[in-house]
């Protein structure tokens, strides 16, 4: 039950992009990787996931980089993490029916899942920057 490095690095990158958003400047992978403490190659892959979810957009070529597609106060932490952490499903049977009938824990997993998502959706990247 650990958050992956992908999710952690990705959220950190998102906060860096949130800082840069007001200036309207893009940040390259090289710009971010050092301060996050992750290789450029790995961070590339992570940002491509954020891009495919529409959280960031990319400008290719020289002087290019990444930028948030929306204001930091419009992007929730939950949205970022779900995209990087397999939808935050803590057990496989979330949202489905497990084979077992009368599975008390099953209802628990669904409630826990909902609880986690609601918490993470209640915090935006802007709020994250302002320290929780």
Partner DNA sequence: TTTAAATCCTACTCTTTTACTAGGAATAAT
Partner DNA sequence: ATTATTCCTAGTAAAAGAGTAGGATTTAAA
Binding region for DNA (CB under 7 A): 1-2, 4-6, 28-30, 38-42, 44-45, 47-48, 51, 58-66, 86
The Cα–Cα gap between 7 and 80 comes to 8
What is the closest distance, in whole angstroms, from the C-beta atom of residue 120 to its own copies in the complex?
7
Residue 77 CB, nearest distance to DNA (Å)? 18
129 binds, among DNA, its own copies, none (CB under 5 to 8 A by kind): its own copies
Phi, psi angles (nearest 5°) of residue 85: -125, 45
Closer residue to DNA (CB): 85 or 121? 85
Q: Tokens 């998502």 identify what position? A: 117
Minimum distance from CB of 121 to DNA (Å)? 21
Q: Mind spelling out the 3-state secondary structure of 79-111?
A: HHHHHHCHHHCCCCCCCCCCCCCCCHHHHHHHH
Least distance between DNA and beta carbon 88 (Å): 11
Work out the angle at residue 52's Cα, subtended by the Cα atoms of residues 117 and 18, and round it to the nearest 5 degrees. Answer: 65
Give how far the C-alpha of residue 19 lies from the chain's centroid of Cα atoms, to the nearest Å.
16
In the complex, the residues that contact its own copies under the rule CB under 8 A are 1-4, 7-8, 11-12, 15, 77, 85-86, 88-92, 104-105, 107-109, 111-112, 115-116, 119-120, 123, 128-129, 131-132
């Amino acid at each position: 039950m650990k958050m992956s490095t992908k999710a952690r690095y990705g959220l950190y990158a998102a906060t860096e992009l949130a800082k840069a958003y007001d200036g309207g400047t893009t940040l390259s992978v090289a710009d971010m990787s050092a301060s996050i403490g992750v290789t450029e190659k790995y961070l590339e892959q992570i940002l491509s996931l954020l891009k495919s979810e529409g959280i960031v957009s990319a400008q290719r070529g020289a002087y290019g980089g990444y930028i948030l597609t929306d204001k930091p106060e419009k992007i929730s932490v939950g949205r970022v993490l779900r995209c990087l952490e397999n939808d935050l499903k803590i057990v496989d049977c979330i949202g489905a029916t497990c084979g077992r009938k009368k599975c008390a824990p099953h209802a628990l997993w669904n409630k826990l899942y909902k609880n986690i998502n609601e918490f993470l959706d209640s915090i935006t990247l802007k709020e994250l920057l302002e320290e929780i």
